[in-house]
Chain A
Amino acid sequence: NAGVTQTPKFRILKIGQSMTLQCTQDMNHNYMYWYRQDPGMGLKLIYYSVGAGITDKGEVPNGYNVSRSTTEDFPLRLELAAPSQTSVYFCASSYSSRGGYEQFFGPGTRLTVL
């Protein structure tokens, strides 16, 4: 099992550009999450999904969109990149949404908006 994979690993965007961060998991997990980690800070939840076709906002959803057409994939879309979106983005998945289940994290995407 590859676990949770994310592409790209690094990206530099200009202000106003758009991009999609890809996330795929091969553990057949129903629950998937997107987080951002600003320098020296903990992770903050952007969006999550409890299954294909179902998504919901987390703590910091503004400026982002997500979709979940399959169990495996959960892409994160930035429509109009802003410097405030410079961060490291982590995708995660879990077997269940119940709080005790471990979330498995991808390796992260470092995004810089200039």
Chain B
Amino acid sequence: AQTVTQSQPEMSVQEAETVTLSCTYDTSESNYYLFWYKQPPSRQMILVIRQEAYKQQNATENRFSVNFQKAAKSFSLKISDSQLGDTAMYFCALSNNAGNMLTFGGGTRLMVKP
């Protein structure tokens, strides 16, 4: 079985500042994929960033970057220059290599304050 844990139920950050959301996971597979999804109040699930486990280089998408520590099974999300539109629930997710099991963490509610 694979598990995903997000230890921060809620976080807040001032607009334009940087915030880091934590995620740890467990899996017995040698290759797997990690994702961060954003869920704004509209409920729509939006992919923010993805990381393949065998790629050592940390993924980056504009203001979003990850710190992937494979040995520690840690996958944190850094949001730089936070914007009001970043206010949302953020879910860390782990996919097995076959792609038929996507496991989500419990989520972190992020509030960006003006």
A99-B33 contact given A33-B102, A45-B101, CB 8 Å threshold: yes
Chain A 88-114 per-residue mask, 1 if CB under 8 angstroms from chain B, else 0: 101010101111111101011000000
Docked-complex contact A105 and B44, CB < 8 angstroms: yes
Asked if A77 lies at the interface with its beta carbon under 8 angstroms from chain B, I say: no
Q: Name the residue on A nearest B101 (C-beta).
A: A45
Chain B 7-50 per-residue mask, 1 if CB under 8 angstroms from chain A, else 0: 00000000000000000000000011101000000111101001
Docked-complex contact B91 and A43, CB < 8 angstroms: yes
Partner of A42, one of B43, B98, B101, B105: B105
Asked if B100 lies at the interface with its beta carbon under 8 angstroms from chain A, I say: yes
Count of chain B residues with a beta carbon within 8 Å of a chain A beta carbon:
27
Chain B residues positioned under 8 Å from A58 (CB to CB):
101
For window 79-114 of chain B, which residues contact chain A by CB distance below 8 Å? 91, 93, 95-107
Partner of A99, one of B91, B97, B105: B97
Residues of B whose CB lies within 8 Å of any CB of A are 4, 31-33, 35, 42-45, 47, 50, 52, 91, 93, 95-107
